[in-house]
Amino acid sequence: MPAFLRAREAEPPPLEAPPDIKRLVSEKLDSVFVSTSRPANVRVSQPLHDPRGLGWTACVRAELTSVMGQPLGTQTYRVFINEGGIADRRRVDGDDTCATENYEPI
């Protein structure tokens, strides 16, 4: 079939603008950490485009406390941001790139 008769492939949707990660995490801290863990010294990395989709990812660190009041130390989570909100979060392991990120306080 000639090229001019073929259906055009759909254009991929545009990427979302990078989120204001400091504002987003500070306003939705309970989306990242359990409130009873009393997150302190919260820090975030720069958002990076999520290679699996159109959203963004960022790393979030904080000093946490257990429900028994014992310090848990610094815990790091990767947050997934879609359509301006935190869609998911996962605790990182040693293979995650969050270990090499630069962090800024919120």
pLDDT score of 7 more than 90: no
pLDDT the model gives residue 83: 87
| Reported confidence tier of residue 33, pLDDT bands at 50, 70, 90 | very high
Question: pTM of the full predicted structure?
Answer: 0.82
**Per-residue model confidence (pLDDT) at position 35:** 82
What is the average pLDDT score of the chain?
A: 88
Neighbouring residues of 83: CB distance < 8 A, sequence distance ≥ 6 = 16, 55
CB contact at 8 A, 98 and 78:
yes
Q: What is the residue extent of each domain of the chain? A: 15-105
Q: What is the mean pLDDT of residues 30-48?
A: 93
Of 27, 94, 29, 14, the C-alpha closest to 60 is 29
Q: Which CATH number fits domain 15-105: 1.10.10, 3.60.21, 3.10.450, 3.40.50?
A: 3.10.450
Nearest to 79 by CA among 93, 106, 59: 59
